[in-house]
């Protein structure tokens, strides 16, 4: 059986919540894979809950889960979700992956968005996340614009779509997709079976 894959996007509060639980529930062999959630939504012709009347209830649910999980109080980035979205952070994560620091950068990027509420759309937020992850911010900044990194993000997103991923967070275990923070336990059971 292949290692489980954790699909995430740093603008998703549910992915933020799942990122703090996925390794503990599924073990250290989980492969983290940033994908472009906006392109996933477009491909599936879906509207996220954050752009509907369900937004206030969804935000409250995320805030309550953060408390239940023992995380810092959830702080929303400015003008979330539309004005806080960026592909640069996802590309930066792939640069971090080349340096063996994907998890560290991902957790730092999530913290910029949802623990500090400062966001990662601006270069300063990306640089703070890079520094926290132990990376040279200049190397990350220089790496995100290259065609190789852009291609890797496109391939990862296309691969997630091909695997049946319709949203984030999602975990792929032995060909089965578990979508949502609340499905991590089911993914762990499937992995153990």
Is residue 1 pLDDT above 80, yes or no?
A: no
pTM tops 0.75: yes
> What per-residue confidence (pLDDT) applies to 109?
98
For residue 83, with 0-12 CB atoms within 10 Å meaning exposed, 13-18 middle and 19 or more buried, which class applies?
exposed
Q: What is the pLDDT of residue 5?
A: 98
Return phi, psi of residue 113, to 5°.
-75, -50
Q: Which residue has the tokens 């979330």?
A: 80
Of 134, 120, 60, 48, the C-alpha closest to 91 is: 120
Q: In the prediction, which pLDDT does 94 show?
A: 98
Written out in words, the top-level CATH class of the domain with range 5-192 is alpha beta
Query: pLDDT, tens digit, for every residue of 37-80?
Result: 999 999 999 999 999 999 999 999 999 999 999 999 999 999 99
For the chain, what are the domain ranges? 5-192
Task: Dump pLDDT digits (tens) for 178-191.
Answer: 999 999 999 999 99
């Amino acid at each position: 059986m292949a290692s489980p894959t954790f699909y995430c996007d740093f603008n998703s509060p549910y992915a933020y919540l799942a990122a703090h639980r996925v390794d503990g529930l599924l073990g250290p062999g989980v492969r983290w894979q940033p994908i472009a959630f906006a392109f996933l939504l477009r491909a599936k012709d879906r509207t996220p809950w954050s752009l509907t009347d369900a937004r206030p209830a969804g935000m409250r649910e995320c805030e309550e889960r953060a408390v239940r999980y023992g995380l810092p109080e959830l702080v929303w980035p400015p003008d979330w979700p539309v004005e806080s979205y960026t592909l640069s952070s996802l590309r930066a994560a792939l640069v971090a992956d080349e340096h063996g620091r994907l998890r560290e950068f991902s957790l730092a990027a999530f913290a910029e968005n949802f623990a500090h509420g400062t966001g990662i759309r601006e270069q300063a937020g990306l640089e703070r996340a890079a520094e926290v992850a132990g990376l040279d911010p200049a190397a990350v900044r220089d790496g995100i614009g290259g065609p190789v990194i852009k291609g890797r993000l496109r391939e990862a997103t296309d691969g997630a779509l091909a695997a049946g991923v319709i949203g984030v967070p999602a975990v792929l275990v032995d060909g089965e997709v578990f979508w949502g923070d609340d499905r991590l336990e089911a993914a762990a059971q499937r992995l153990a079976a």
